[in-house]
Amino acid sequence: MTAAGRARRIVWLRRAVQTAGLLLFLGLLIATRPREGAEASPWLQVWFDLDPLVLTGTWLATHSVAGLSLLALITVAATLILGRVFCGWLCPLGTLHNAISALRRRGAARRDMGRFSPWQRLKLGLLAALLVMALFGVHWLGVLDPFGLLTRSMTTAVLPAVDVIVGDSATAIYAADPRLGSFPLTRISEPVYRFFRDRVFSGQRPAFDGAMLVALIFAAALVLNLVRPRFWCRYVCPLGALLGLFSRRAPLRLRQTDACTHCGRCAMSCPAAAQPEKPGEWLPGECFGCWNCVAACPVDAVDFAWEPFWRRPRAGSDGVTRRGAIKALAAGVAGLLVLRLPPQARARAYHPALIRPPGARPEREFLQRCVQCGLCMKACPTNALQPTLLEAGLEGLWTPMLVPRLGYCEYECKLCGEVCPTEAIQRLTLAAKKETRIGLAVIDTTRCLPYAYGRSCIVCEEHCPVPDKAIYFVETEVPLRGGGTRTLKQPKVDADRCIGCGICEAKCPFRDRAAIRVTSAGESRHPDNQPILPGAEPLDAGGADPAADSYGDPYGG
């Protein structure tokens, strides 16, 4: 069999592997949801564990490694032997880019698209800059890491869009109840709807603040494939750049022979612009190992072959210069300073709305680990975890924040810590999680109905999940407008008991701005951000529990 014939089979094999990888990614993402069973599987985050960029960045920032992240060494080993096959064969974002690239118009412009551009060095610059930042403790890798980008985009933008399409269509069909003859369409729409609602979204209707920005960036990354195939992978992806460094001496190399007729088909088929068409100038740091060029060659002039790794590959240069490296490092330092200079980044201020999920490490350590992937937001059963915009500074862009107006921290849940790929949110036992304070409820007496409007309302107390209630009542005689008084139960917060879960704020009848709101003060993770000296003046010392009604035992005799 000719080299091209063999390569065509290999290309089909690659497509099958890519499809499987993408399906595995989507399957794991969808499985990252509240479900039966005690603990979330550690394999849900396996893509991040396989990502050496996450490993490197976390290690540089924290001098530690998380969970199964040493699996990334498998990726490194594979790259050292086979080149950037992770990009070409496995990466689900790369596969998506491949698919979009295939939609390009065929024709004359294609030869151009396969030509190497010096701008492809940009990704190396980004990698260097991001690693410099990580070394000094600013972990912004997740913004550009392919798994951070893809998971965040799918979670906050794509899946909610699917939910809107499926949910609204099904609801419209349900309301109109159209029939084909005697066959009700709801017979089809309802099972589909229920499948998505119960199996994919686990009963939530997810919606995320700032999803528009994430969606625009994701859409741009996809659309740019029409400008250059796999634009993102060629020019931007810092993981691709890192793997490119490992692949330069890989023993599986493209052998280019004299049989070449310079027809250029290999270049047109090359998604990486790795110069298969220039004998002796193939770029192993760019090549995805996709075998397209071998399959496209009509004269078998190119083929992959094993060479001993100690022999220098016959390869071209991407033209990385010392000057370029210095520019990248300087950019990293500049980026570091921009992100680090605001007062909040220097731990001199605390944002009241920055309520981190339970188990989140102290802010500095948290930011050194969080890769902004949004898996915690995907897992959160109440849709309470939302991506920040600037609440945590630009440094903390798209990190998770609890927004009690939109949801609350479910008392019996600890899923966010279980799915976090970098242990930015630590795994807690349920008992420990229930004791972890993420904030403190504050009553706004200018809004609260029993204080401000002389009406009874106990919704916050009713929902408070702390077994002995962190919200209690003080019965107060309130003067009425027309004279006379009314006795009302006015809620108060027991600061020693409140864990800041936010269900009081989520359920308050004031829908626009709740009359009871959670602030980040009091969070367990920050000894400084504390208004209360715990236990200093216990409210119910020695007395009856103020929230308990008297209970007479009817059978007590």
Partner 1 sequence: MIRTTRRSFLKQTAALGGAALLPPGLALGQDAAPPALAIARAGGERSADAELGPLARRLTREALAALGGMERFVSKGDVVWIKPNIGWNRAPELAACTNPDVVAELVTLCLAAGAKTVKVGDHPCHQAAQTYRTSGIAAAAAAAGAEVVFLDASRFRTVALGGERLKEWALYPEIIEADLVINVPVAKHHGLARATLAMKNYMGVIGGRRNAWHQDLDQCLVDITAYMKPRLCVLDAVRVLTAHGPVGGNPDDVKRLDTVAAATDIVALDALGAELLGHRPVDIASIRAAEAAALGTADWRSLPHAEREVS
| Identity of the residue, 110 or 463, whose beta carbon is nearer to partner 1 in the bound complex | 463
β-pair partners for 492: 472
Q: Is 253 exposed, middle or buried (0-12, 13-18, 19+ CB in 10 A)?
A: buried
Decide if residue 171 touches partner 1 (CB under 8 A).
yes
Among 9, 311, 455, 486, binds partner 1 (CB under 8 A): 455
Which one of the spans 77-85, 241-249, 271-279, 448-456 is the region binding partner 1 (CB under 8 A)? 448-456
- From the list 181, 343, 467, 542, which residue makes contact with partner 1 (rule: CB under 8 A)? 467
Nearest alpha carbon to residue 100 among 221, 7, 17: 221
**Could you say which of 117, 202, 445, 530 contacts partner 1 (CB under 8 A)?**
202
Among 405, 447, 469, 517, binds partner 1 (CB under 8 A): 469
CB of 327 to partner 1, least distance (A): 50
Candidates 120-128, 168-176, 304-312, 516-524 — which segment interacts with partner 1 by CB under 8 A? 168-176
Closest by CA to 284, choosing from 249, 311, 309, is: 249
Kindly tell me which residue out of 64, 257, 321, 456 binds partner 1, with binding defined by CB under 8 A. 456
Q: Which residues of 178-191 are buried (b: 16+ CB within 10 A; e: fewer)?
A: eeeeeeeebeebee
**Secondary structure of 421-464 as H, E, C letters:** CCCCECCCCHHHHHHCCCCEEEECCCCCHHHHHCCCCCHHHHHC
Buried b (16+ CB within 10 A) or exposed e, 45-78: bbbbbbbbbbbbbbbbbbeebbeebebbeebbeb
Beta strands in 219-322 (DSSP E): 252-256, 302-306
- CB 278, min distance to partner 1, A: 58
547 is a site residue for partner 1 (CB under 8 A): yes
Work out which of 1, 36, 446, 484 binds partner 1, going by CB under 8 A: 36
Q: Which is nearer to partner 1, 291 or 408 (CB)?
A: 408
Closer Cβ to partner 1, 331 or 458, answer by number: 458
Q: In this complex, which beta carbon is closest to partner 1, that of residue 181 or of residue 556?
A: 556
Q: Are 538 and 496 within 8 A, CB to CB?
A: yes
203 makes contact with partner 1 (CB under 8 A): yes
> Between 462 and 477, whose beta carbon lies closer to partner 1?
462
The piece of 56-64, 279-287, 294-302, 543-551 that touches partner 1 (CB under 8 A) is: 543-551
Comparing CA positions, the residue from 87, 408, 348 lying closest to residue 230 is 87
| Binding of residue 462 to partner 1 (CB under 8 A) | yes
| SS3 assignment, position 45 | helix
* Interface with partner 1, residue 385, by CB under 8 A: no
The CA–CA distances, whole Å, from 398 to 373, 406, 465 equal 8, 17, 29
CB 160 within 8 A of CB 208: yes
Note the maximum CA span of the chain: 105
**What is the Cα–Cα distance from 227 to 240, expressed in whole angstroms?**
19
Calculate the CA 363 to chain-centre distance: 18
Rounded least distance, CB 317 to partner 1, Å: 56
Q: Cβ of residue 402: shortest distance to partner 1, in angstroms?
A: 15
Question: Rounded to the nearest 5°, which phi and psi values hold at 192?
Answer: -65, -50
The least distance separating partner 1 from the CB of residue 374, rounded to whole angstroms, comes to: 19
Of the pair 36, 39, the CB lying nearest partner 1 is at 36
Instruction: Give Cα 73 to chain centroid, integer Å.
Output: 22
Of 479, 509, 534, 538, the one binding partner 1 by CB under 8 A: 509
Total residues contacting partner 1 by CB under 8 A comes to 51
Interface with partner 1 in residues 398-427 (CB under 8 A) = 410-413
Site for partner 1 in 126-165 (CB under 8 A): none
Q: How far is the CB of 171 from partner 1 (least distance, A)?
A: 5
Tell me how far apart the alpha carbons of residues 441 and 504 are, in angstroms, rounded to a whole number.
Answer: 8
| Interaction between residue 433 and partner 1 (CB under 8 A) | no
Instruction: Determine the residue type at 288.
Output: F
Contact positions vs partner 1 (CB under 8 A) = 34, 36, 167-168, 171, 174-175, 197-198, 202-205, 381-382, 410-413, 449, 455-459, 461-469, 473, 489, 507-509, 511, 545, 547-555, 557
